């Protein structure tokens, strides 16, 4: 990587500390994901859904948001986003093990169904795309309350075919609401490839039909995603309305721990994607700029491993909810 | 206290609550300048402005989905569905989302949302402007479902719904809008959700019903009274939760129960009411539990002959009541 | 109108007979509409929904279709289309009066809820936009059966915000199905004007998000609509996929007989639109070309009036369905 | 005749019918190369090609809406909804359209469509991969709803559905896919829609149920038999139409009825079954009509403790049966 690109992050206004923080968040997401996958294969977690390959894009986006100001309505792969918004490794593992202390749902929902009020993360469900109008509604409410903030929502390219995407984008366009629609286009919806999933070339093309900008960014280019997101955030805060940001990314793992991706895509394709993985390329960039020294990297990896170990140990021994707790929280008490 | 039309009582409740709670707002198709196709929200945009009386694009899933987001944020949206028949595109948002947000987040988030929808037939509305849709929702834990039958309840139940911390579906029979007027308390007036009301005390037979049918049943009861048959009439008002105690008590009162609803019979609300009684008051019964409901056809036709055939009326109800009394 | 435009219809391949036929269809639609409106005001019809102002666009489109080959899934204002597809004035009046003989529904549905198998008109309902995926499904089925045909579906601009529009367009785009999506943009959805209804400028902009062409045409220019439709039909028949045609038109009457449009639009706006009405302008064009002579016009108007009178008289005296017929056709007998 | 898994019997029916009727085709998410997330359609794309085994974009309303158009055209689509929980976005198309096309067109058009959806819990599916959704549809005239409990019925009911001239919802309990195997007739095998099946003859108590619960009830009945209690077990199989005669007959048989379903209780199918009995066989009853169902909570939680709490099992059912028998 040339000296010219070496200072790219500073040129766009990110400090060395910030990019290291971004990298650490990516590494933590990856480490948690891989650990959960292992635990699933070891029979300890019934179900896992993976962020692997999408962390760079998620973190690039999330660092343009303000976790003390904005709200997020993320989809199930957004581990990078929820870590940025304050969920801890322990929270994630408690959810993986479906334990009582899981802040997302007390073990009621599968992992990947994020939500915690204190982290400004709206509770999510499994039916795809339902969160998109919610993010729009939160933006509407914030504006009614004169709160200057942005709401964020994410979804896969397949999920951009649901009616809820269309209806929510249109209303946000009509009202020029401060929403960021983030489409993580990983080329597959379970087994269905992009070409059989959408009629258009790029999901970003859909934005024109709602009257706001749509951009397509290389999802492995963390800084490019950050920049696009920052532009969108500023636009939103200035009252100019929503932006649709599509990132081209790749899901390295099968769809979930229940999936077998060998029937629908080649190993070569997956291996090729691994080369472009932002964890690899962003790491290389940081090393080439001297921001990430060998010492720092080792310390970071050690620290992340320890955090994940501790989280796993804690979550594994934590208690389940009592059976009859299933009866609670149907209505306000 | 003043005598008011059912429709005006609904508007009263909205205006009353919007004046004192600035988190309340309404959104729906044509609710602004047009004041809603039935004029429920007429004039409200003048008082509260276009940011609290929001004309929505023609997309029910977004109307409810956006309202859910706003409710989660902490506001109190009142989503209007133009006709209950058009609630179908929003079913996913209502059942998968609104009903489950509190539960799935272990109580961390909630969804204090009200959905108003005019329902019911007998108004030349044909297949898609006449349906009763309550049976789709009274089965869904996490929701509440209310159906007022008087102007006073229209106001009191709506204020209760607006203050409820959970999602409430408020179904207003469009046949009542300008048909019914009664004394409505001024200002503060809350009718608690989950409480049925005895509309007439009686000793021979019990009729359990809700919505427009309350009035038809009362008319029939009046007629039967001339023939010496004394009818006890229970207005459910709340379909979820059902007022179990009131239902059992009403059934026990006479031992002969007829359940009446406009909605078609199979799987309607009457099924649950009957099952409750069969479970808890079987030995108090002096006759099989009868149901008189709309026929099991997809929806109410347009032509006057067939619409009339579908709709119950006081005469049909009186017949069923006489049969039960004679049992 | 200059001599140069005077032969415009012949230049695009329409004979004098054909344009007269188009004009007659427009006039008949208008006459039926006005008669029904009168009957409603006289208390004889409980409900009417009007095509007034949109006939030109409808007829321009429908004449590019083949009523013996294609299928239509029209929306409630498409009187011009269903007349072209073989519904008669009598059929229309039978439906208005909700009589047993109404071929659309036997009096079960409101007028404007078209459908008759023999006319290749799919049965429609009131919830808007549900017909859009149906037209796509018919096109899919036709292709599976190796039938070379086009399916047509129409809807208002407001209805283009429903999820079903989005989902259906996308699938048609993926499969390159022979469908014509016809958006009759009359600037209002009941009381809600275009700017509060859609985030974009033109509904046609939405087509790009599904990977097929979208065009916006002046709906009062009957021949332009015809040409655009013919292009779309050829495209579809050649296996190149769908087209979204948006026409800019105007609904001259209130939304329905139950509406009062004075609260949401000015009389000046409506009067202005009446000047641009295709019935006026296309008539003038035909007169200027000499195709429509005073004799022909008188005969046409007389004939149409008679047809409408006859249809009204017939329908008015026709019997209603018997009450218990309401129980029929829930399932196949 | 061969012993087959429940899941294989479903595939058998599809393949059998697709071979002899080229108007039958399947469409849904991941039904092609992936063979469906449960592998029901595995291998079918190889035999029938991508034009008869269609991978659909992720949009349930389009899956059903497109299928409706194709059905109206004259084909026989089998729309797969990946999990029954995700049928919600398609409710408008199912209830407003499929159910009403024949009716609203006065018999001119029809909608011979089959919708398959895996439902039910106890499989660590959490809130949104465990739901029972049949109660939303068994109330809707114009639809048919079936729920097989054996491999033989899985095949026979699916073939019946595929030949039915009207829309049929076919709900397959995903817990049965690989749990249950039984003798499935080769080739032609049709189980008529609308007929319940007596799974066990008995004299002391009657249990009416469907789906996975049939097996739990039979297990409980076996246990009770050791204690000298004789159980009559009716498997409804068809929820719309319900087999009224079989239900009344089964209720009369013992005079003591327990209805069991996995779905939550209020407004579930058990309500209608109970109401039918209370209407037509009240005087044959020797005990209140009991229901044992899932709790009235929004959906089944993920954690094993709470999932187990939600799910019925043979022990819980046996308890309820003993209580009834002792009544
Ligand atoms: C309404 C609905 N239908 C089906 C599913 C099952 N499902 C879960 S994820 C998924 C694919 C999502 O693909 P995409 O939107 O591209 O996101 P990705 O998983 O690729 O990140 C499907 C079909 C669902 N969760 N919700
Ligand atoms: C799902 C649904 N919601 C609401 C309605 C009530 N409604 C009937 S027509 C209409 C407006 C339609 O506007 P547009 O699509 O622009 O068509 P136009 O009537 O202007 O031709 C509305 C809201 C409906 N029929 N269906
Ligand atoms: Mg994807
Ligand atoms: Mg319009």
- Note the pLDDT tens digit of each residue in C166-200: 999 999 999 999 999 999 999 999 999 999 999 99
Pick the closest to residue B18 from B135, B114, B146 (CA basis): B114
Is D81:D119 a contact under the CB 8 Å cutoff?
A: no
D163 has pLDDT over 60: yes
pLDDT at B1 (0 to 100): 84
CA of B53 to the centre of ligand 4 (A): 21
Of B137, B162, B184, the residue that ends a domain is B184
Is D230:D250 a contact under the CB 8 Å cutoff?
A: no
Tell me how far apart the alpha carbons of residues D171 and B84 are, in angstroms, rounded to a whole number.
Answer: 27
Q: Which residues contact D53 (CB under 8 A, 6 or more apart)?
A: D25, D26, D27, D31, D32, D41, D44, D45
Q: How is chain C split among helix, strand and coil, in percent rounded to 5?
A: 50, 10, 40
Is B299:B128 a contact under the CB 8 Å cutoff?
A: yes
Pick the closest to residue B88 from B147, B136, B55 (CA basis): B136
| Atom nearest to D88 CA in ligand 1 | 1
Active site residue D189: no
Residue B189 lies in a domain: no
Pick the closest to residue C82 from C113, C44, C107 (CA basis): C113
Q: What is the DSSP string of C45-105?
A: -S--B--TT-HHHHHHHHTTS-TTT-EEE--TT-HHHHHHTT--HHHHHHHHTT-TT-TTT
Residue B190 lies in a domain: no
> What distances in angstroms separate CA D25 from CA C137, D219, D227, D310, one per listed residue?
12, 37, 50, 37
Residue B156 lies in a domain: yes
Tokens representing B14? 């909205």
Q: What percent of chain B has pLDDT over 70?
A: 100
Residue in D129, D189, D215, D232 annotated catalytic: D129
| 8 Å CB contact of C46 and B303 | no
Sign of the four-CA dihedral A226, A227, A228, A234 = positive
Sequence ranges of the domains in chain C: 3-318
* B13: CATH: 3.40.50.970
Confidence label for A6 from pLDDT (cuts 50, 70 and 90): low
Is B217:B247 a contact under the CB 8 Å cutoff?
A: no
Pick the closest to residue C187 from C219, C227, C157, C149 (CA basis): C157
Tell me how far apart the alpha carbons of residues D48 and C232 are, in angstroms, rounded to a whole number.
Answer: 31
| Torsion of Cα atoms, B61 then B64 then B65 then B67, to 10° | 150
Is C125:B128 a contact under the CB 8 Å cutoff?
A: yes
pLDDT at C6 (0 to 100): 58
Of B184, B214, B232, the residue that ends a domain is B184
Tell me how far apart the alpha carbons of residues C41 and C37 are, in angstroms, rounded to a whole number.
Answer: 6
B105 and B159 belong to one structural domain: yes
Tell me how far apart the alpha carbons of residues C140 and C179 are, in angstroms, rounded to a whole number.
Answer: 9
D222 and D267 belong to one structural domain: yes
Residue C294 phi/psi, 5° resolution? -60, -40
| 8 Å CB contact of B58 and C161 | yes
Is D33:D43 a contact under the CB 8 Å cutoff?
A: no
Tell me how far apart the alpha carbons of residues D44 and D49 are, in angstroms, rounded to a whole number.
Answer: 8
Relative to beta strand A179-185, strand A243-248 is parallel
Pick the closest to residue B64 from B42, B95, B33 (CA basis): B95
Relative to beta strand B257-264, strand B205-209 is parallel
Residue B115 lies in a domain: yes
Tokens representing D163? 């030949």
D160 and D283 belong to one structural domain: no
Cα diameter, chain B? 59
B55 has pLDDT over 50: yes
Q: Which residues contact B186 (CB under 8 A, 6 or more apart)?
A: B1, B2
A4 has pLDDT over 60: no
Tell me how far apart the alpha carbons of residues A53 and A33 are, in angstroms, rounded to a whole number.
Answer: 10
pLDDT at D1 (0 to 100): 84
Residue B10 lies in a domain: yes
Q: Is A173 exposed, middle or buried (0-12, 13-18, 19+ CB in 10 A)?
A: buried
Question: What average pLDDT is seen over chain A?
Answer: 97
Active site residue A251: yes
| Ligand 1, atom 24: closest residue by C-alpha | A127
Q: Which residues of C touch B34 (CB under 8 A)?
A: 190-191, 263-264
pLDDT at D72 (0 to 100): 98
Question: What average pLDDT is seen over chain B?
Answer: 98
Ligand 2 pocket residue status of C251, Cβ below 6 Å: yes
Residue D248 structural domain: 197-326
> What distances in angstroms separate CA D231 from CA D44, D211, D222, D254, one per listed residue?
41, 18, 8, 9
- Exposure letters D118-134 (e unless 16+ CB within 10 A, then b): bbbbbbbbbbbbbbbbb
B128 and B8 belong to one structural domain: yes
Query: Ligand 1: which of A109, A159, A192, A273 to mutate, most ligand atoms within 8 Å of CB?
Result: A159
| 8 Å CB contact of D303 and A322 | no
Q: What percent of chain D has pLDDT over 90?
A: 100
Give the tens place of pLDDT for each residue, A250-301: 999 999 999 999 999 999 999 999 999 999 999 999 999 999 999 999 999 9
What is the SS3 assignment for B76? strand
| Strand boundaries in D102-230, DSSP class E | 114-119, 144-146, 168-173, 181-184, 197-200, 205-209
Question: What average pLDDT is seen over chain D?
Answer: 98
Pick the closest to residue D118 from D75, D167, D176, D168 (CA basis): D176
Q: How many helices (H) and strands (E) does chain C have?
A: 13, 7
How many domains, in total, are found in chain B?
Answer: 2
Residue C161 phi/psi, 5° resolution? -90, -10
Cα of first residue to Cα of last residue in chain A, in angstroms, is 59
| Atom nearest to B92 CA in ligand 1 | 1
Tell me how far apart the alpha carbons of residues D91 and C276 are, in angstroms, rounded to a whole number.
Answer: 41
- Please count the CA atoms within 13 angstroms of the CA of B307 that sit on its side-chain side: 23
D286 and D177 belong to one structural domain: no
Q: Is C196 exposed, middle or buried (0-12, 13-18, 19+ CB in 10 A)?
A: middle
Give the tens place of pLDDT for each residue, D144-157: 999 999 999 999 99
- Which ligand lies nearest the alpha carbon of A54? 1
Tokens representing B307? 């619409």
Candidates B75, B96, B102; nearest CB to A144: B75
A97 has pLDDT over 80: yes
Ligand 1 pocket residue status of A189, Cβ below 6 Å: yes
Low-confidence ranges of chain C (pLDDT < 70): 1-6
Residue D174 lies in a domain: yes
What is the SS3 assignment for B79? strand
* B207: CATH: 3.40.50.920
Pick the closest to residue D73 from C142, C148, C118 (CA basis): C142
Give the tens place of pLDDT for each residue, D78-136: 999 999 999 999 999 999 999 999 999 999 999 999 999 999 999 999 999 999 999 99
- Please count the CA atoms within 13 angstroms of the CA of A65 that sit on its side-chain side: 33
Q: What is the DSSP string of C113-168?
A: ---BGGGTB----SSTTTHHHHHHHHHHHHHHTT----EEEEEETGGGGSHHHHHH
Q: What is the ipTM of this complex?
A: 0.98
| Strand boundaries in chain B, DSSP class E | 2-5, 24-28, 53-55, 76-80, 114-119, 144-146, 168-173, 181-184, 197-200, 205-209, 231-235, 238-240, 257-264, 290-294
Q: Which residues of A touch C174 (CB under 8 A)?
A: 195-199
Tokens representing B245? 């105690």
CA of A160 to the centre of ligand 3 (A): 9
Is A224:A5 a contact under the CB 8 Å cutoff?
A: no
Tokens representing D2? 């061969």
Is B217:B290 a contact under the CB 8 Å cutoff?
A: no
**For helices A16-41 and A294-317, what crossing angle results, to 10°?**
40
> What distances in angstroms separate CA A159 from CA A190, B183, C165, D5, one per listed residue?
11, 51, 15, 33
B261 and B170 belong to one structural domain: no
Distance from the A3 Cα atom to the nearest Cα atom in chain B, whole angstroms: 46
Domain C3-318 listed as CATH 3.40.50.970: yes
Rg (CA), chain B: 19
Confidence label for B275 from pLDDT (cuts 50, 70 and 90): very high
Tell me how far apart the alpha carbons of residues A83 and A32 are, in angstroms, rounded to a whole number.
Answer: 11
pLDDT at C2 (0 to 100): 45
Residue C182 phi/psi, 5° resolution? -115, 110
Is D243:D236 a contact under the CB 8 Å cutoff?
A: yes
Q: Which residues of D touch C142 (CB under 8 A)?
A: 73
Q: Which residues of B touch D106 (CB under 8 A)?
A: none
Q: Which residues contact B288 (CB under 8 A, 6 or more apart)?
A: B327, D278, D279, D280, D282, D283
- Where residue A112 falls (left for φ over 0; alpha for ψ -120 to 50; beta otherwise) is left
């Amino acid at each position: 990587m040339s000296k010219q690109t070496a200072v790219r992050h500073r040129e766009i206004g990110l400090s060395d500390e910030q990019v290291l923080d971004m990298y650490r968040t990516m590494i933590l997401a990856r480490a948690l994901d891989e650990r959960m996958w292992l635990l699933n294969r070891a029979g300890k977690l019934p179900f896992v859904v993976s962020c692997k390959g999408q962390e760079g894009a998620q973190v690039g986006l999330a660092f343009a948001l303000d976790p003390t100001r904005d709200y997020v309505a993320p989809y199930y792969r957004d581990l990078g986003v929820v870590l940025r918004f304050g969920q801890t490794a322990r929270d994630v593992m408690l959810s993986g093990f479906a334990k009582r202390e899981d802040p997302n749902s007390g073990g009621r929902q599968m992992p990947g169904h994020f939500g915690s009020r204190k982290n400004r993360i709206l509770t999510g469900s499994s039916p795809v795309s339902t969160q998109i109008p919610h993010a729009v509604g939160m933006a509407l409410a914030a504006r009614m309350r004169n709160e200057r903030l942005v709401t964020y929502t994410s979804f896969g390219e397949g999920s951009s075919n649901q009616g809820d995407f269309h209806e929510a984008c249109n209303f946000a366009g009509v009202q020029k609401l401060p929403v960021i629609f983030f489409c993580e286009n990983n080329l597959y919806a379970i087994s269905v490839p992009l070409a059989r999933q959408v009629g258009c070339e790029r999901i970003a093309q859909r934005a024109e039909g709602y009257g706001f900008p749509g951009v397509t960014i290389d999802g492995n280019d963390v800084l490019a995603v950050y920049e696009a997101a920052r532009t969108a955030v500023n636009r939103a805060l200035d009252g100019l309305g929503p932006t649709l940001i599509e990132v081209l990314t790749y899901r390295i793992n099968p769809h979930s721990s229940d999936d077998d991706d060998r029937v629908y895509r080649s190993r070569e394709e997956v291996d090729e994607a691994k080369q472009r993985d932002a964890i690899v390329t962003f790491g290389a960039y940081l090393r080439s700029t001297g921001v990430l020294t060998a010492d720092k990297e080792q310390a970071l990896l050690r620290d992340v491993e320890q955090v994940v170990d501790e989280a796993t140990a804690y979550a594994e021994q934590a208690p389940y909810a009592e059976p009859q707790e299933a009866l609670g929280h149907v209505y306000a008490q | 206290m003043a005598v008011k039309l059912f429709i005006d009582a609904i508007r009263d409740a909205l205006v009353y609550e919007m004046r004192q709670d600035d988190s309340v707002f309404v959104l729906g198709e044509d609710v602004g300048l047009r004041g809603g196709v039935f004029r429920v929200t007429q004039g409200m945009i003048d008082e509260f402005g276009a940011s609290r009386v929001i004309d929505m694009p023609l997309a029910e899933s977004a109307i409810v989905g956006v309202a859910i987001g706003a409710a989660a944020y902490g506001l109190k949206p009142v989503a209007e569905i133009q006709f209950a028949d058009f609630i179908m595109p929003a079913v996913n948002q209502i059942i998968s989302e609104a009903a489950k947000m509190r539960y799935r987040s272990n109580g961390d988030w909630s969804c204090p949302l009200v959905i108003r929808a005019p329902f019911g037939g007998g108004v030349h509305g044909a297949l898609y402007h006449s349906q009763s849709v309550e049976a789709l929702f009274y089965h869904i834990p996490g929701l509440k479902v209310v159906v007022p039958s008087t102007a006073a309840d229209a106001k009191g139940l709506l204020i209760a719904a607006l203050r409820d911390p959970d999602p409430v579906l408020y179904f207003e029979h469009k046949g009542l809008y300008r048909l019914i007027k009664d004394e409505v308390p001024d200002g503060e007036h809350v009718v608690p959700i989950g409480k049925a009301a005895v509309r007439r005390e009686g000793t021979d037979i019990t009729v359990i019903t809700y919505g427009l049918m309350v009035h038809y049943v009362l008319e029939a009861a009046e007629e039967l009274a001339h023939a010496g048959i004394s009818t006890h009439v229970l207005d459910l008002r709340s379909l979820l939760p059902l007022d179990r105690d009131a239902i059992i008590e009403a059934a026990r009162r006479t031992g002969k129960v007829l359940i009446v609803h406009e909605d078609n019979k199979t799987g309607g609300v009457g099924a649950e009411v009957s099952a409750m009684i069969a479970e808890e008051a079987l030995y108090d019964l002096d006759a099989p539990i009868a149901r008189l409901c709309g026929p099991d056809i997809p929806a109410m036709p347009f032509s006057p002959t067939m619409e009339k055939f579908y709709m119950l009326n006081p005469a049909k109800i009186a017949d069923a009541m006489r049969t039960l009394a004679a049992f």
